[in-house]
Chain A
Amino acid sequence: MKLPPLVARVQVRTPARSFRLWVPLFLVWILAFLLLVPLLLLALLVALAFAPRWRFGALLGGTYAVLCEARGTNVDVDDARTRVSIALH
């Protein structure tokens, strides 16, 4: 089963200090899931009523797939003094 990124690593390095933060994204997903269930049901009803040709299930699956495949994304931004790095695991 594919899962969305579970942890984000944020690393900041400045001349003064540097720190590394592991952000537990899985906690965010749990909270988001609790919020999203009622919202999605509402969205499904609205879609069925106003846009029956929309492939709601496929769109939902596609969005989840995009979220899952974000694992492995890495962004580093460097200037002469500061370095910020974000990685999704």
Chain B
Amino acid sequence: MNQERLRVLELLSQGKIDAKEAATLLDALGDSRSAGAEPGSSPAATPGAPAGAPRYLRVLVEGETGEDRAKVNVRVPLALVRAGVRLAALLPPGVHDQLNKALKKNGVDLDVSKIRPEHLEELVEHLGDLTVDVDNAREKVRVFCE
């Protein structure tokens, strides 16, 4: 969280502004962030990504509660995902077919040849504002960017 957002929340907690004003200010900060007009908000931004863009893809998997509770926490740099997508785009079509077959065999119905770096940027852009939560009786999965 950047300094401006913290300041707004402090003002709210001190009662100097009300919730409506805080929401307006946070919205305005959000807009300037998404437009990349806030230099320095992300001290070490990912190369090739707009300033303030998320840097990591986080996947949290929490197993069933109780004695056998298991938790997996994976943090992958988005730059790695971007590099992977760029590499996939360079692979010859024959390799794409083999990859698609292998993915399908493992339950992932995906055409690798159709994934383009610009699609990933779009996905990352949306994941910045969104958290994917998958909940069932046995496990909880959360996917988000940070």
Chain A positions within 8 Å of B, measured between CB atoms, are: 51, 53-55, 58-59, 62-63, 65-66, 68-80
Contact = CB atoms under 8 A, between A and B. Distances in A.
B80 A69 contact: yes
B68 A80 contact: yes
Interface residues of B, number: 24
A30 B87 CA distance: 23
A75 B87 contact: no
A72 B55 CA distance: 10
Nearest to A55: B90
Interface string B75-90: 1110110111011001
A59 B70 contact: no
Contacts of B71: 76-79
The 9 closest A-B pairs by CB, nearest first: A62-B87, A69-B80, A78-B71, A74-B75, A76-B73, A69-B79, A72-B77, A65-B83, A79-B70
A79 B68 contact: yes
Give the residue among A53, A55, A66 with the most B Cβ atoms within 10 A: A66
Contacts of B67: 80
A65 B87 contact: yes
A59 B68 contact: no
Given A79-B71, A80-B67, A71 B83 contact: no
